[in-house]
Each structure stands twice: as C-alpha cells, then as structure tokens.
Amino acid sequence: MPPDEARNEVAQASPPASSSTVPVRDPGSHDTPRTNSGGGTPPELAAGTAALHKQPDPLISGFHFRGVLPHLKKESGTYFATFRQAGTLPKEVLLRFKQERDAILQQARAAKRPLTWHEQDELFRWYSSRVDKYLDAGHGVCYLRDPDLAELVTGAIRFFEGQRYELRAWVVMLNHAHVVVWPMPGHTLSDILHSWKSYTSHEINKRLPQKVVPFWQSESYEHLIRDDDDLHRCCHYTLINPVNAGLCVRPEDWKWSSAHVAQPSPAASCSTVPVRGPETGGETPPQLAGGDACAT
C-alpha cells in the first residue's frame, strides 16, 4: 500500500506478533533442553520451566494489535469477521470514527490486556452502527456490484468449507463481506482471511480494465463470539445486512448470502460458484491452496 494511502486508512497492517502482543500461556507445550552434564538444573525441571515460558502463537490464542483494531483470538473460537475494499472510508470519516473508537480501546491498550466482554460488545455496536452503516451506503466505487465479481468472492469464501473451516453465516455486499466462521484445528482465522483476500484480489484485478492495488483493506475487523446468544446475534446481523442496506426485501433474496444458498430451490443451487474443485472436476486455485501466514 502506498504510504499516503496507508495513512488515510484506519487499519494498517503490521507484523502479526508485535511488542503489544499479550500471549496466552499454553501449559501443554514443551521444549527439550540441551543436556548439561556439568550439573545445574535437572533436565526434567528445565523442561518444565521452558514450557512455562514458551509463548504460543497469538494468532491462535491471545490478544494483539496488528494495526489499529484489537484482535482477540481463542483456540477453537468462532468469529464474526468483516473485510472491505480499500479506500471505502474517506479520511475525514475515519478520523471521526477513530475518536469514538479510542474511548473504548484506551484502557485495554494501556493495560495491554484483552477487551472485556462488555468492551467487545461496545466495539461491535460501534462498528455496526458507524463503520458498517457507512459501507452499506455504497459510497465510492463498489466493484462487487458486478454480479460476476460478487460471485467470485462468494466462491472463494465457500471453497474450503468443511476442510479448513465451518461457515455459520456469510454475505457478500457491494464493497465488503461478513463471515461467521469457525476455523478447524490446524487453521487460523488470519490464514483463512488472507487466503480469501489474496486470491480474490488477484482474480478481480484480472477482470478489471485497470488494476486496483490494494483491492482489500489490509486489516480486517474481527469479533470473537462468546456464547450462543452472541452467535445468534452475529449470524442475524450478517444475514439481515442486505435488507438493512435496502438491497432486497428478505435475506434469502440476496443471491450472495448463505440465506439464499440454504433455499432448496434450483435458483439457489445454480447461483453460486461450486464449493470444491474435486466435485466439479477442477483444481484448487493456487492462491487459495497456499495458506499464507501473513496476518490479515
């Protein structure tokens, strides 16, 4: 991302494990120390001490700031995530939103601790009532207005369902996408988001008369779902988004949504890109097959 555009965006990508990371200790991990025949700490005790100090990957379990937004991860957690086109929020809008958001984040950032559930709820409400509402208004160039491009993003989101993650709900809007997703063991939310964004930006730019780089905003919004009520709220919010944006009357009327795909009608079954290569005789797109560890 060019320096000027990076300054204009609220969220700027940074290395995934920074000095602001607060890891969650994994008592089940072990390091094997070198044997010291000259005395000192017995190997068994040394191994236990090393395990206590081992820091797990914060992209799996922990709290970290990747740019501006806080990211709370929990192993086996389910997430509500949003990724949007780059440049969809003007600088003056971003600055106004930033002031409102900082009031929520200030204490957690100062203490380098995870957001409380109450703070998470406040941040979710802030995001949905401010940022997402602005995105739904469709300001600027909304490339996903093109049905072919919206279908391309839909296909990418569904491609590894059941292999790398399980989808609870999802929707592709005019300039962003919402997903409620559970990463399967061995896969992180960061890798999944990066895979979607990397593949779709590459394919979309092949179809545009002029390349848009970057196509997606570098940092995504993530919300760790805490319980069944929270899961229901996030799924409902995802599916009702096209209705609230004035794009359709019922959630199932929006073709690029899990609400529509769930309808047992021929129109629903033919309106989406096939989910997996083996079922259609095709091959896995290389950009989707290679899970880049870059934080997203």
For residue 161, pLDDT beyond 90? yes
Please check whether residue 197 lies inside any domain of the structure.
yes
pLDDT band at residue 12 using 50, 70 and 90 as cut-offs: very low
Please check whether residue 32 lies inside any domain of the structure.
no
- Which among 91-100, 115-124, 235-244 has the top mean pLDDT? 235-244
Please check whether residue 157 lies inside any domain of the structure.
yes
Query: Full-prediction pTM beyond 0.75?
Result: no
Please check whether residue 12 lies inside any domain of the structure.
no
The CATH number assigned to the domain holding 153 equals 3.30.70.1290
For residue 13, pLDDT beyond 80? no
In the chain, the number of structural domains is: 1
Please check whether residue 15 lies inside any domain of the structure.
no
Domain of residue 248 covers 57-289
Tokens for 190, please give them: 């960061």
Closest C-alpha to 284, from 208, 207, 206, 199: 199
For residue 7, pLDDT beyond 50? no
Amino acid 100 reads E
Please check whether residue 20 lies inside any domain of the structure.
no
Q: Which of 25-39, 81-95, 148-162, 211-225 has the lowest mean pLDDT?
A: 25-39
Residue 61, Cβ neighbours under 10 Å: how many?
18
- Say which residue, 89 or 275, is predicted with more confidence: 89
pLDDT of residue 61: 45
Please check whether residue 177 lies inside any domain of the structure.
yes
Please check whether residue 127 lies inside any domain of the structure.
yes
- Say which residue, 234 or 30, is predicted with more confidence: 234
pLDDT of residue 288: 53
